[in-house]
Amino acid sequence: MIGNFFSELKRRNVYKVAAAYAVVAWLLIQGASIVLPTFEAPSWTMKVLLVALAVGFPIAVILAWAFEITPEGIKRAEDIEPNESITKNTGRKLVGITIVLAVIAASLLAFQLFRSNGPASSPNSSVTQPSIERATTSIPISEKSIAVLPFENLSSDKENAYFADGIQDEILTRLAGISDLKVISRTSTEKYKSKPEDLKTVSQQLGVAKVLEGTVQRAADKVRVNVQLIDARADTHLWAKSYDREVKDILAVESEVAQEIADALQAKLSPAEAKTVASAPTKDAAAYDFFLKGEYEQRAGVSALRAERFNQAAAWYNEAIARDPNFALAMAQLVVCRMRLHWLVESLKESELAELGAMANKALALAPDLWQAHVALGVFHYYGFRQYEPALTEFQRAIELQPNNSEALQFIGYVHRRQGKWDRALTELQKTLELDPRNTSIGGNIAQTCVFLRRWKEAEAAAQHTLTIDPHEATSMGMLLLACLNRDSNMREALRTLASYPSDDLLVPNGGTFAMIIGRRAEAHVLNRDYNAALKVWETNTGVASNEGHRLAARTTIRVLAGDLTAAQTDAEKARLFYETRLRDHPNEIRSMRALSWIYLALGGKEDATRIAQQAFDLLPPEKDWGLGPANLTALAEIQARTGATKDAIRNLQRLLSIPAGEAVSIARLKIDPVWDSIRNDPGFQQLLTAKEHVGP
């Protein structure tokens, strides 16, 4: 009987149906693992698919036993005479289909393995697919995780928006000081509304179990703060409370809210953490109000990269310090604000830097355990003088004092990148996303790091995902464009990508080579040899440059590249006076040196052009800064090529192809970049086009 049963299983193709079903299931799982992440499908989608496939298996086997396919259609097996059965033919077809599907599934598996460990990544790389989404999809959500969403300003005076922002930020900061909690950074939470409609999606995107919503209403010297704690996964209220106080007591409200949230989440606080949560940075309510205004303006400055916003923030911080000379937090944030202006927008004088160093040390002397003071001193060392090891010491101490400090960890990643520790930097930036998963600046910098390493596909993936969060994230836009240009010089794709960006983006001078002078948008047109379009970028957008000198230098550089020296000289004469004066006050400002070298070229001053380019390189070669050093070496090679120093230019290009310098130089880019036209026919340059370029760490 048993033998007959197994023979019948074989005759009815039950075994073959089971095998075919298993292969189809395998193929579906492989395909889903590729497609679902692309469309950002929720994690439960894969679970539902697995359950459905598991349930379907016994059903398929039962149907194979009970029914048979005949030329007349599907019939019950018992109704078919043995001489009428065509199970042998059906079985052969099943075997053939199963083999084909198995090959396809195996190919998909090989593709996934190649994508994870293939030539786009270094064999030693611990980060193979940098993307802004991995941090929240690969880590289980802790019950003690929380995001403090933007507080809604209910005040009749809408100028009180800074006040609502400040209360939210201070509550978040106090919670972030509790090591038993996972607290998402403000730069991620500010992407959401005060009361999102779909909290479950917020939970998934931020990787948190709880969210805190709040409203703030201020009238004269009175303030009402309403807060509610919500389980975001189930969208259920856990706790809510209202606080009606005088404005002078707002610091106490922030401490109370933080403490009650910690209690609701059953977080364990050390004595030091409990003290931090309960402490106030100042006892002067007016000083604190000035401080909140400074914080609001500094965030606006970082977003807009406008000197006037940074300067206004500094003015508010100074008002706060004037009210309370021992306000260490205001001092620390003033230092960070001014150093960001120095690093991102325009250089400060040496005397100004010295004053900021003294202020950072004073803040630390007043409050040795204030993490913001350690960040301020670290930023002073890093942004002011590229003193990497002292900066790392301060940033690490800030993390010890505040375990949820994504800002300090982010700085550590950037410092390690400047030191050329590429894999370590990528790992740290990826880890930062666990606490700041919607921070598009980090996503853009991950993309930029991959461009340096000439890991084009990974750069594209990181940039594209970041732009789904913030379509205006400038670094990601620039890196997506460069990945097109420097990977395979695909001008059609690059221009199509550029056309998809808003017309007021990618205009500010930035990046390596001549792009630091003319900006990414004009750079793309120059590489396409459409010099009129590049000039139009600087003629139609009057609000782009922070001063007329930048505009004159950009137009001069474009015309030199176009070979129109006569037209270039008019702008060059005006720009020369601006930049020579600028360098007298800021003798180490590399962006001004870069512009002046092209201005001298336009005016026929080849020796001066080479001298100033060499000076910029000597200040920051790659050994001192792997972020800007390769661009300085490229800029020097550009001037050497234009002034007849062909051998020197080629020697520097050979070095650039052997190091992480993908933002400035790639073989594909060398083939199209007009900056090299003057040496293009040299045998040494032609030999470069067949060389092997550095890829990976």
> At 199, which CATH number?
3.40.50.10610
Residue 189 falls inside a structural domain: yes
- 530 and 578 fall within a common domain: yes
pLDDT interval class at 106 (50, 70, 90): low
384/63: higher pLDDT: 384
pLDDT interval class at 17 (50, 70, 90): low
pLDDT tens sequence across 342-382:
998 888 999 999 999 999 999 999 999 999 999 999 999 99
Residue 494 falls inside a structural domain: no
- Name all contacts of 224-231 with Cβ < 8 Å and 24+ positions apart: 225/151, 225/167, 225/250, 225/253, 225/257, 227/171, 227/257, 229/146, 229/261, 229/264, 230/199
- Nearest alpha-carbon partner for 610 in 581, 639, 582: 639
- 143 and 273 fall within a common domain: yes
- 257 and 302 fall within a common domain: no
573-580: average pLDDT: 95
Whole-number pLDDT of residue 115: 43
Two structure tokens written together for 553: 């230098």
- 232 and 252 fall within a common domain: yes
75/369: higher pLDDT: 369
pLDDT interval class at 120 (50, 70, 90): very low
- 27 and 62 fall within a common domain: yes
Whole-number pLDDT of residue 545: 46
Between 277-286, 309-318, 636-645, 674-683, the lowest mean confidence (pLDDT) is in 277-286
Residue 414 falls inside a structural domain: no
- Nearest alpha-carbon partner for 494 in 482, 505, 506: 482
Residue 84 scores a pLDDT above 60: no
- 255 and 323 fall within a common domain: no
- Measured CA to CA, the distance from residue 248 to residue 467 in angstroms comes to 42
pLDDT interval class at 117 (50, 70, 90): very low
Q: What share of the chain in percent tops pLDDT 90? A: 67
pLDDT tens sequence across 281-306:
999 999 999 999 999 999 999 888 88
Q: How many domains does the chain have?
A: 4
Whole-number pLDDT of residue 125: 37
557-563: average pLDDT: 97
Euclidean distance between the first and final Cα of the chain, in Å? Answer: 66
User: Residue 385: which CATH number?
Assistant: 1.25.40.10
Residue 182 scores a pLDDT above 60: yes
Helix (H), strand (E), coil (C) string for 605-657: CHHHHHHHHHHHHHHCCCCCCCCCHHHHHHHHHHHHHHHCCHHHHHHHHHHHH
Q: What share of the chain in percent tops pLDDT 70? A: 81
Whole-number pLDDT of residue 34: 60
Instruction: Outline where DSSP puts E strands in 88-188.
Output: 145-148, 152-153, 182-183
Residue 25 scores a pLDDT above 90: no
- Nearest alpha-carbon partner for 591 in 415, 306, 343: 343
pLDDT interval class at 56 (50, 70, 90): confident
Question: At a CB cut-off of 8 Å and minimum separation 6, what does 29 contact?
Answer: 49, 50, 53
- Measured CA to CA, the distance from residue 49 to residue 145 in angstroms comes to 29
Whole-number pLDDT of residue 74: 61
Whole-number pLDDT of residue 195: 85
590/1: higher pLDDT: 590
Residue 116 scores a pLDDT above 50: no
Residue 127 scores a pLDDT above 60: no
Residue ending a domain, among 264, 280, 296, is 280
Rg (CA), the chain: 31
- 171 and 294 fall within a common domain: no
Whole-number pLDDT of residue 687: 97
pLDDT interval class at 83 (50, 70, 90): low
- Cα 543 vs. chain centroid, distance in angstroms? 26
Residue 6 falls inside a structural domain: yes
Residue 436 falls inside a structural domain: no
pLDDT tens sequence across 445-495:
999 999 999 999 999 999 999 999 999 888 999 999 999 999 999 999 999
Whole-number pLDDT of residue 540: 67
173-186: average pLDDT: 94
120-134: average pLDDT: 41
pLDDT tens sequence across 532-541:
999 999 886 5
Residue ending a domain, among 256, 280, 304, is 280
Phi, psi (rounded to 5 degrees) for 216: -130, 130
Q: Which domain holds residue 295?
A: 287-402
- Measured CA to CA, the distance from residue 75 to residue 419 in angstroms comes to 73
For the chain, the maximum distance between any two Cα atoms, rounded to a whole number of angstroms, is: 103
Q: Residue 107: what residue type?
A: S
Residue 544 scores a pLDDT above 50: no
Whole-number pLDDT of residue 40: 46
Whole-number pLDDT of residue 53: 73
Question: At a CB cut-off of 8 Å and minimum separation 6, what does 664 contact?
Answer: 512, 513, 630, 631, 634, 656
Q: 274 and 290 in contact (C-beta within 8 Å)?
A: no
User: Of the segments 69-78, 110-119, 602-611, which one has the largest average pLDDT value?
Assistant: 602-611
HSE at residue 370, side-chain half, CA atoms within 13 A, is: 25
Q: Which residue has the tokens 């782009």?
A: 544
Phi, psi (rounded to 5 degrees) for 620: -140, 80
Residue ending a domain, among 402, 429, 453, is 402
- 208 and 162 fall within a common domain: yes
pLDDT tens sequence across 212-268:
999 999 988 899 999 999 999 988 989 999 999 998 899 899 999 999 999 999 999
- 556 and 605 fall within a common domain: yes
- The mean pLDDT value of the chain amounts to 86
- Measured CA to CA, the distance from residue 488 to residue 485 in angstroms comes to 6
Residue 126 falls inside a structural domain: no
134/79: higher pLDDT: 79
14-31: average pLDDT: 70
pLDDT tens sequence across 395-415:
999 999 999 999 999 999 999
Residue 501 falls inside a structural domain: no
Residue 85 falls inside a structural domain: yes
Residue 177 scores a pLDDT above 50: yes
- Measured CA to CA, the distance from residue 284 to residue 459 in angstroms comes to 48
- 320 and 386 fall within a common domain: yes
- Measured CA to CA, the distance from residue 123 to residue 53 in angstroms comes to 36
What pairs with residue 219 in β-bridges? 222
Whole-number pLDDT of residue 59: 78
- 652 and 544 fall within a common domain: yes
pLDDT interval class at 542 (50, 70, 90): low
- 27 and 57 fall within a common domain: yes
